[in-house]
Amino acid sequence: AIDGPAAAGKTTVGRQTGFHLGYPFLDTGAIYRAMTWTALHRGVDLSDEDALSELATSISIDIGPPSPGSIEPCTIFVDGEDVTRVLRQPEVEAAVSLVSRVEGVRDALVKVQRDLAGRNSVVMAGRDIGTVVLPEADLKAFLDASLEERARRRFVELSAMGIEVTEESVLRDLRRRDRIDSERSLAESLGISRL
């Protein structure tokens, strides 16, 4: 279980760890992005928590190995459709923290993550992995980096995918996401100031 804020290196470490152990690697952020893209694609009002929660419980999310040449660590399917290519779109990145803070969404997607981890040994990375999703994991790690370094990494990653952003806009987005995540009621109930 590898935990930490966005762009702290969870995917890089998780992918390498999975490779060395011979375990599949799952970046749970991709599951939340898949949910967010689906909500946007289906026209669900992102301020309607009940509608988002209902959508989260009604869709099927599954993973597969990465496609050849993909920079993503796995392939994500929603209701059987490969949605991996759309998960890093700017509108998805901008909305994922808003969607993921909805308690009903988190409840539904934690069940998905636990189900995926229950199928076999896995390296799983994302926020809340060691505290909420897999509290009994054999090994837990928490990674962090300065906000500026995280913004630089994410900027390089997005630019490599052909997404036009500025380093300043990425910095603003990460700062906003950190604030949203630190204010989530779940984080407060666990006594965690930043996940």
High-pLDDT (> 90) share of the chain, %: 57
Of the candidate ranges 34-43, 59-68, 132-141, the one whose mean pLDDT is the lowest = 59-68
pLDDT tens track for 8-24 = 999 889 989 998 998 88
The alpha carbon of residue 170 and the mean position of all alpha carbons in its chain are separated, in whole angstroms, by 16
| Cβ pair 185, 104 in contact under 8 A | no
Q: What is the DSSP track for 86-120?
A: GTT-HHHHHHHHHHHT-HHHHHHHHHHHHHHHHHS
Tracing tokens 């909500």 back to the chain, one arrives at 39
Q: Of 151, 140, 139, 142, which Cα lies nearest the Cα of 178? A: 151
**What rounded mean pLDDT belongs to the chain?**
88
pLDDT tens track for 125-161 = 988 899 999 999 999 999 999 999 999 998 998 888 7
Helix (H, G, I), strand (E, B) or coil at 26: strand
Tell the burial category of 115 from Cβ atoms under 10 Å away from its Cβ (0-12, 13-18, 19+): exposed
**Buried b vs exposed e over 8-39: b needs ≥16 C-beta within 10 Å?**
bbbbbbbbebbeeeeebbbbbbbbbbbbbbbb
Q: What is the pTM of this model?
A: 0.78
Please determine, for residue 190, whether its predicted confidence score (pLDDT) is greater than 80. Answer: no
